[in-house]
Structure formats: C-alpha cells, structure tokens
Amino acid sequence: MKSEKLRITSQRDVILDELRSVKTHPTADELYEQVRRRLPRVSLATVYRNLEWLSEQGLAQKIEVGGRQKRFDGDISEHYHVRCSKCGRVADVEMDMLDGIEERIAQCCGFTVTGHRIEFTGLCPACSNGSAC
C-alpha cells in the first residue's frame, strides 16, 4: 500500500529519472543543469529539495564525500565508491560488499549496526595520466 507521502510528483519523477540515467553521482548543481533541459522552469532549490526528499525516502542515495559538495546516486543498491582526490569524481566499485564487517563492529563497539559505507580514494584514470578531466 502506497502512502500519500510516497506519491511521486511529475517534477520529482523527472529528477529521479535523470539521476538514474547517469553513473556520474552528480551534485545538485550538475543535476540541475541536466534536469533543466526537460524542465526549463525548474529552480535549483527545487532540484535540491527533491534530491533531499528522495534520499530521505530511500529512493536515492546521498553520498557525503570528504568535505566536498554532496553527491547523489540513483542506484540505491549497496555498493562502494571510489573518489578521485584530484578532480572529485566518484565512481562505483564493482565488488561484493565485505562480509561480516558489521558483526565485528557490533561486537567491539556495542552498537546495533544497520549498514556501512566505504569510500576509497585515489586518482581517476584521467588524473593519473596527467590529462585534464
């Protein structure tokens, strides 16, 4: 049963659709530029507010990467990310989630662990080749 709160408006639909169409983990500003092509009158504030809402509802993932602008991911499956420390770009890591890690944290810290995030850092292919990206 869908609650009233979870009903997606058409504007939100477009924003989520655009977010899901890219693998780049865009910032709100980047997604705004993209969404504007379909919704010329949309404001950055609307895109931002909807991204926050979609994240709260579990329909998108908010990636808070090392002190920079928040990025968003339309892929809500559990997966790890790798961030380029030079240009800030974020890519998916194609590997299985580490097994047993949450149980170990629960044992050592007494927390009820509900999930984990691991962010790898390094240089993306473009940055390690010394070319601009």
Q: Does 87 bind Zn ion (CB under 5 A)?
A: yes
87 binds, among Zn ion, Mn ion, none (CB under 5 to 8 A by kind): Zn ion
Count Cα atoms within 13 angstroms, Cβ side, for 31: 31
Q: How far apart (Å, rounded) are the C-alpha atoms in residues 20 and 109?
A: 36
Q: CA triplet 54, 58, 61: central angle to 5 degrees?
A: 75
Within positions 113 to 132, which residues make up the interface with Zn ion, using CB under 5 A? 124, 127
Q: Does 90 bind Zn ion (CB under 5 A)?
A: no
Residue from the set 52, 88, 89, 92 that interacts with Mn ion by CB under 5 A: 92
Virtual torsion, Cα 127, 37, 70, 125, nearest 10 deg: -10
Q: Does 84 bind Zn ion (CB under 5 A)?
A: yes
CB nearer Zn ion, residue 87 or residue 101: 87
Residue from the set 18, 34, 48, 73 that interacts with Mn ion by CB under 5 A: 73
93 binds, among Zn ion, Mn ion, none (CB under 5 to 8 A by kind): none
Do 76 and 92 contact (CB within 8 A), yes or no?
A: no
Q: Residue 80's CB: how many other CB atoms inside 10 A?
A: 17
Residues that bind Zn ion (CB under 5 A): 84, 86-87, 124, 127
